[in-house]
């Protein structure tokens, strides 16, 4: 399949943070699986893949989220699909954790693994100083989840599906609810961001963006 630059830009102009979804329109299973696959295929630093996509279909859980998340309240239950993106916490993001050792052994040939792990430690310890506090490692994982977040929103826009990223929630409250549901696996995961998909109820207002020459600076 060939897609033109004009089509890609058109999708980015089409995409907006949809505030109201049409409750009478549903994203097909095929289209939604396509969106999820673009998230799964996203790149991550050192092949860490710290994310998990929780597709919430349970009405009771959706209502709990709606009650404590002002960002999601206006999207539920009108949105067709609702995702919570989780991120692995510090205990899984350390270079020498069981999870990372498994990930690295899959990504790197055995004869290079030892040296690769030394580089990984150097990166975390000295380059980015991630080992100074567990919060730094957790935030590093959370930061990476925004790559599949963006990819899924763009993929949706390319096939005419609307989306809205949601950060309007209290992290501790949401984590408590998710832990009660058994979704955080005893602290191995934390909530990162949420994402709603569906079809817009009305057309958005004018898009406001800073000028190209203000955003882009050329260093020669």
Per-residue model confidence as pLDDT tens digits over 186-217: 999 999 999 999 999 999 999 899 999 999 99
pLDDT-above-70 percentage for the chain: 100
Q: What is the pLDDT of residue 1?
A: 65
pLDDT at 104 over 80: yes
Q: What is the arithmetic mean of pLDDT over 57-68?
A: 94
> What confidence tier does 76 reach under pLDDT thresholds 50, 70, 90?
confident
Cβ-based neighbour number of residue 211 at 10 Å: 7
Q: What is the arithmetic mean of pLDDT over 37-66?
A: 97
Lowest-confidence pick of 3-7, 72-76, 84-88, 208-212: 72-76
- Which residues neighbour 134 within 8 Å (Cβ) at sequence distance 6 or greater? 89, 90, 91
Q: Give which of 202, 194, 158 is closest to 23, Cα–Cα.
A: 202
> What confidence tier does 2 reach under pLDDT thresholds 50, 70, 90?
confident
pLDDT at 94 over 80: yes
What are the angstrom distances between the C-alpha of 5 and each of 8, 134, 143?
Answer: 5, 42, 28
Q: What is the pLDDT of residue 114?
A: 96
What is the pTM (predicted TM-score) of this model?
A: 0.95
Rounded Cα gap, residues 183 and 190, in angstroms: 9
* Region of residue 185 (left: phi > 0; alpha: psi -120 to 50; beta: else): left
Question: 18-202 domain in CATH 3.10.580.10?
Answer: no
Rounded Cα gap, residues 35 and 157, in angstroms: 10
Residue 178 main-chain phi, psi, to 5 deg: -70, -35
> What confidence tier does 75 reach under pLDDT thresholds 50, 70, 90?
confident
């Amino acid at each position: 399949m060939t897609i033109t630059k004009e089509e890609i830009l058109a999708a980015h102009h089409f995409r907006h943070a949809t505030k109201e979804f049409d409750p009478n329109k549903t994203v097909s299973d095929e289209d939604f699986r396509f969106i999820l696959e673009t998230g799964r295929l996203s790149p991550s630093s050192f092949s860490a893949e710290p994310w998990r996509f929780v597709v919430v279909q349970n009405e009771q859980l959706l209502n709990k989220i709606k009650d404590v998340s002002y960002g999601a309240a206006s999207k539920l239950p009108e949105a067709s699909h609702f995702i919570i993106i989780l991120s692995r916490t510090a205990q899984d993001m350390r270079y020498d954790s069981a999870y990372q050792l498994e990930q690295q052994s899959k990504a790197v040939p055995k004869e290079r693994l030892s040296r690769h792990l030394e580089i990984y430690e150097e990166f975390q310890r000295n380059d980015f100083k991630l080992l100074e506090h567990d919060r730094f490692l957790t935030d590093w994982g959370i930061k990476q989840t925004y790559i599949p977040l963006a990819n899924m929103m763009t993929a949706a826009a390319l096939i005419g599906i609307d989306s809205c990223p949601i950060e309007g929630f209290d992290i501790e409250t949401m984590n408590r609810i998710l832990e009660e549901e058994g979704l955080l696996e005893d602290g191995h995961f934390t909530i990162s961001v949420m994402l709603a998909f569906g079809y817009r109820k009305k057309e958005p207002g004018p898009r406001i963006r800073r000028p190209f020459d203000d955003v882009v600076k050329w260093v020669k």
